[in-house]
Amino acid sequence: MAERDPFRVGLVQMRAGKDVRDNLLEAEALIRDAARKGAHYIQTPENTLLMEVDAPHLLEKIVPEAETEGVAHFAHLAKTLRVWLHIGSIAVKIDENKAANRAFLFTPNGDIVLRYDKIHMFDVDLPSGESYRESATFIPGTQAYVAQLPWGLLGVATCYDIRFPEQFKALAMAGAKFLTAPSAFTKVTGEKHWHTLLRARAIENGCFVFAAAQGGRHANGRTTFGHSLIISPWGEIIAEGDTDPGVIVADIDPEEVDRVRARIPALDHARDFEVSVVQMPKGATLKAVG
Ligand SMILES: O=C(O)CNC(=O)[C@H](CS)NC(=O)CCC(=O)C(=O)O
């Protein structure tokens, strides 16, 4: 297959629980289903093997990358199915107290071509009362990547990274035609922000966006939004998941990126500028009300 040839994307939506082995088998079944549906590039969500982000629960269940059963397993699976396999993330142990939220991209030969440690940490307090402190357990990455696929460059990011347009802009400026954000978005933020954020990243960069999601109520008590999305460079939703685990596929024409960017070459129009703060002139007081 050559650059510019159409290809088929498959996104695996999951509802990962607390048992790594169960999640691995579920992921494998869904990846096989995506391959059966003809996908050449298959993506799984953030936290594919474990939905447990709080230390110490997380730290006691994870191991260093070299001992992570899933990594070898997925390498073998990619090779067996002859697909590009992007595992949205696996928590790997860095030391006694810290982990990395690491994505993997496997070639159809089963080789790892990139590891990406999520850069932006989800440290937030939501209106629902949910609080997250990802940085308490995870060490953020400092390096972003685009990887050469047969159909063009793939830009890699994870979940909360989607709120940082500068990261996606940098990936697009590095040549990415396809941007990714495998996720475990919360239900509350997903309902308000998910579609808008992903469509904006597609539109402003003239890129396809592929985002596999976790969805539904998990064994750890959390509820994620689901709605895995495949979005065109024009910002249209090509395929969308619901809340339940499953697979969505779509055929992607890489030349659509060129067509959209020919119409609106926003990437070429970027300019440097400065921002000045204009102070209020003295005496610019409002009229008293009433
Ligand atoms: O919740 C879990 O158990 C697992 N979630 C995760 O691992 C990560 C980090 S805590 N979730 C996100 O980044 C959500 C981002 C998001 O929801 C937003 O940006 O609104």
ipTM: 0.91
pLDDT value of residue 53: 66
225 falls within a domain: yes
Rounded CA separation 49/90 (Å): 6
Could you tell me whether strands 246-252 and 99-106 are parallel, antiparallel, or unpaired per DSSP bridges? unpaired
- Per the structure, the complete domain to which residue 199 belongs is given by 7-269
pLDDT value of residue 290: 66
pLDDT value of residue 3: 72
Rounded CA separation 14/216 (Å): 9
253 falls within a domain: yes
Domain count, the chain: 1
pLDDT value of residue 226: 98
289 falls within a domain: no
49 falls within a domain: yes
278 falls within a domain: no
- Residue 47's nearest CA partner among 168, 160, 141, 201 is 160
Domain containing 212 — which CATH number? 3.60.110.10
183 falls within a domain: yes
Active site residue 159: yes
1 falls within a domain: no
Give pTM, 2 decimals. Answer: 0.96
193 falls within a domain: yes
In short, whether 16's Cβ falls inside 6 Å of ligand 1 is no
Per-residue pLDDT in tens (0 to 9) along the chain, 290 residues: 677 789 999 999 999 999 999 999 999 999 999 999 999 999 999 999 999 867 778 899 999 999 999 999 999 999 999 999 999 999 999 999 999 999 999 999 999 999 999 999 999 999 999 999 999 999 999 999 999 999 999 999 999 999 999 999 999 999 999 999 999 999 999 999 999 999 999 999 999 999 999 999 999 999 999 999 999 999 999 999 999 999 999 999 999 999 999 999 999 999 999 999 999 999 888 887 76
Angle in degrees, CA 43, 238, 106, rounded to 5? 15
Catalytic residue among 26, 159, 187, 256, which? 159
Active site residue 61: no
In short, whether 138's Cβ falls inside 6 Å of ligand 1 is no
In short, whether 189's Cβ falls inside 6 Å of ligand 1 is yes
Task: Give nearest CA residue, ligand 1 atom 11.
Answer: 184
pLDDT value of residue 5: 86
Rounded CA separation 223/186 (Å): 6
Rounded CA separation 162/181 (Å): 7
- Find all residues with CB under 8 Å of 222, minimum gap 6, and list them: 51, 130, 186
